Structure 1
Amino acid sequence: MTIRERAAEFSRVREGKELRAGSHIWRYSLAGQGETVLLLPGGAGIGIGWLDLVLALYPRYRTIAVDYPTTASSFDELADGVLAVLGAENVQRMHVVGQSAGGMLAEVLSRRIPDRIRTMALSGAGLYGSEDVPRLERKLVAIQSAPWEETRTATAKALRAAWQDAEEADFWIEQVDAAYRADGALGLINSYRALIGIARRSEQLMRERPRQGPVLLLKADDDPLITEAHTQRLIGMHPGCEIRTFPTGGHSLLIGRTQDYIAAVAEFLAQHGEPATWR
């Protein structure tokens, strides 16, 4: 199937829901049944980015793919909202899959509910540190001061570079730009505010006791956004984690190496899931 056909199939199998949590409106998609897999997207915050993994896991797993509200400006606010979604759906235990900033959110969430997370699978992920704060602050100022159309064009160019001109990059850039058209600059501004906050907090996060349990780290050698320092912070918090490295794939292996990514995550879930799931 083409990417647009797969997107149509995703729309068919998903159930869209909406929830108010505090001052934020959360939108999310449910699909399938069985063990719950919570899907945390990257900084663009669009749950449709998980469509290929959702279809691969459907109907064996119950997936929850969240959209981040553009009004949330910190990872604590995002974690609060995710917990509200889990509460609304009566989820007691879950696997967590995070991409990019979604991996950082998984770390924050795991400090809140360590005993409820079965496994974590993280890709294109690391942990920003104090060295990233000046760069992120400059980018935030640039976004706030530049014309919004100019920022959208620059963002599309940056996404294409991050995704290494993947075959289906045009579709994904369209999805991100559609969200930006709908919500304006606020979502991107608050995304950078959240990243600055987590970068300033990284040392504290590393001192806190991480959850104990299986962790899979998927990375590409040509990821232009995650540095070795970012990766090592993540590994330092999970010294026994399983690491799979691909020579190519860019920042998003789900986009750049779709089948390899799906195979790795599905194998990991099968290895660490409840036996009843696979009867």
Structure 2
Amino acid sequence: MRATANGIEICYEVFGEPHDKKEGRPLLLVMGLGMQMIGWDEEFIGLLVAKGHEVVRFDNRDIGLSTHLTHAPDLLAALGGDTSGAPYTVDDMADDTAGLLDALGWESAHVVGASMGGMIAQALAIRHPGRVRSLTSIMSTTGPEVGGPTEAAMAALLVPPAPGRENAIERALATWRVVGSPGYAMDTEHVAQVARESYDRAYDPAGAARQLVAILASKDRTAGLRGLTIPALVIHGEDDPLVTPPGGAATADAIPGAKLLTFPGMGHDLPRELWPEIVEAITELTGREAAV
């Protein structure tokens, strides 16, 4: 399905039964840098639906089947500190998300964001506080200066675009071997399948570069997070090399009353073995909101 939001087109999918306006649990999943909405595994979503959530996943701008911009970002300049050429910021992506809520007819929702998606979710809660019932920020951070990547993770992130479908799949496998969870076996077939589907849906490395510039151009959200009054959960891998653990700790420290849940052996992904515990923690959070 498609919706017009904040001047762009957003592709989205809905899972589960339509929520009750008063007692239902509408839940919006926000994906991270360079990842299409299919990065949210349908089995993971099924666990959330089984807990009573109506779930929406969507492609952020510049990825998947949502609107792609054409501005050529100066990534090297942005990495050097000059982000004046950024075509948009995380705040703009948060406004996209608020527009999607409008299109869905959702006055508010529980919002779960991973990596850049966590940044977008944080910005949504700050900029549109009435729209977010609860906030779950996964493997994310308060700003580009906190929880920076290891050298190996940054090198994997900045590898030049892969030419062709098979090379793109191999590149995805190589990247997740660096940034994934060292304490859990990588599901190589699943990673390869997501890479295949992503390539076939829309392969646009320039779009991912624009998203990275948007992250670098965005201001620290600490002050805004301190003003939140909603239930919040911060989930982080203790072995995350891309957004290192100080990012999660800073997020939890900034949000009043936030719970910090960390997992040893977890890197910058969601190992299948942890899905039940993560879903249970999210469900506990959304239930807290419902009881307020």
- TM-score range relative to shorter protein: 0.7 to 0.9
The two structures, once aligned, show a CA RMSD in angstroms of 3.1
The superposition leaves residues 103-160 of structure 1 with CA deviations (integer Å, 9 ceiling, x where unpaired) of: 0110111122112211111222223424859x8998787536x645655532321123
Partner residue in 1 for 2:36? 45
Note if contact 2:134-2:289 (Cα within 8 Å) is conserved in structure 1. yes
Which structure shows the higher helix fraction? 1
What one-letter code is carried by the residue in structure 2 that aligns with 1:154? Answer: R
Note if contact 2:252-2:259 (Cα within 8 Å) is conserved in structure 1. no
For the structure 1 residues 157 and 142, does the alpha-carbon distance in structure 2 shift closer, same or farther, using more than 3 Å as the test?
A: closer
1:65 equivalent to 2:57? Answer yes
Partner residue in 1 for 2:139? 124
Q: Any residues of structure 2 matched to 1:194-209 within 5 Å, and which?
A: 194-203=211-220, 205-208=221-224
Q: What is the CA–CA distance in structure 1 between the aligned matches of 2:154 and 2:139, rounded to whole Å?
A: 21
Identify unmatched segments of 5+ residues in structure 2: 70-87
For the structure 1 residues 110 and 127, does the alpha-carbon distance in structure 2 shift closer, same or farther, using more than 3 Å as the test?
A: same
What one-letter code is carried by the residue in structure 1 that aligns with 2:201? Answer: A
Runs of 4+ in 1 over 6 A off after TM superposition: 135-141
Identify unmatched segments of 5+ residues in structure 1: 1-16
1:257 equivalent to 2:274? Answer yes
Aligned match of 1:183 in 202, 214, 219?
202
Partner residue in 2 for 1:29? 13
Q: Number of matched residues?
A: 255
Aligned match of 2:171 in 132, 143, 154?
154
Q: What is the CA–CA distance in structure 1 between the aligned matches of 2:137 and 2:158, rounded to whole Å?
A: 29
What is the deviation of 1:218? Answer: 1.3
Partner residue in 2 for 1:247? 264
TM-score, reference length from structure 2:
0.74
For the structure 1 residues 153 and 77, does the alpha-carbon distance in structure 2 shift closer, same or farther, using more than 3 Å as the test?
A: farther
1:108 equivalent to 2:123? Answer yes
Note if contact 1:95-1:120 (Cα within 8 Å) is conserved in structure 2. yes
Q: What is the CA–CA distance in structure 1 between the aligned matches of 2:139 and 2:269, rounded to whole Å?
A: 6
Partner residue in 2 for 1:78? 93
Please give the secondary structure, in 1, of the residue aligned with 2:250: helix
What one-letter code is carried by the residue in structure 2 that aligns with 1:55? Answer: G
Q: What is the CA–CA distance in structure 2 between the aligned matches of 1:252 and 1:76, rounded to whole Å?
A: 24
Please give the secondary structure, in 1, of the residue aligned with 2:262: strand
Note if contact 1:29-1:65 (Cα within 8 Å) is conserved in structure 2. yes
